[in-house]
Amino acid sequence: MGTLKTEPARARLDLLAPPVAAALEQWPADAPVDVDDVLVAPIDAELADTAAFCAAYEVGLDVSANCVVVAGKREGEIRYAACIVLATTRADVNGVVRRTLNVRKASFAPMADAVELTGMEYGGITPIGLPEEWPILVDSRVIATPYVIIGSGVRHSKIALPGPALGALPGATVVEGLARPA
- Over residues 121-174, the pLDDT tens digits come to 999 999 999 999 999 999 999 999 999 999 999 999 999 999 999 999 999 999
Checking if the pLDDT of 182 tops 90, the result is: no
- Over residues 69-117, the pLDDT tens digits come to 999 998 889 999 999 999 999 999 999 999 999 999 999 999 999 999 9
Instruction: Report the predicted TM-score, pTM, of the whole model to 2 decimal places.
Output: 0.95
Measured distance CA(127)–CA(82) in Å, rounded: 7
Confidence at residue 128, expressed as pLDDT on a 0 to 100 scale: 97
Checking if the pLDDT of 180 tops 90, the result is: yes
User: What does the DSSP assignment read for the chain?
Assistant: -TT---EEGGG-GGGS-HHHHHHHHT--TT-SS-GGG-EEEE--GGG-SHHHHHHHHT--GGGBEEEEEEEEEETTEEEEEEEEEETTEEE-IIIIIHHHHT-S-EEEPPHHHHHHHHTS-TT---STT--TTS-EEEEHHHHTSSSEEEE-SSTTEEEEE-HHHHHTSTTEEEETTSEEE-
- Over residues 37-67, the pLDDT tens digits come to 999 999 999 999 999 999 999 999 999 999 9
Measured distance CA(18)–CA(12) in Å, rounded: 12
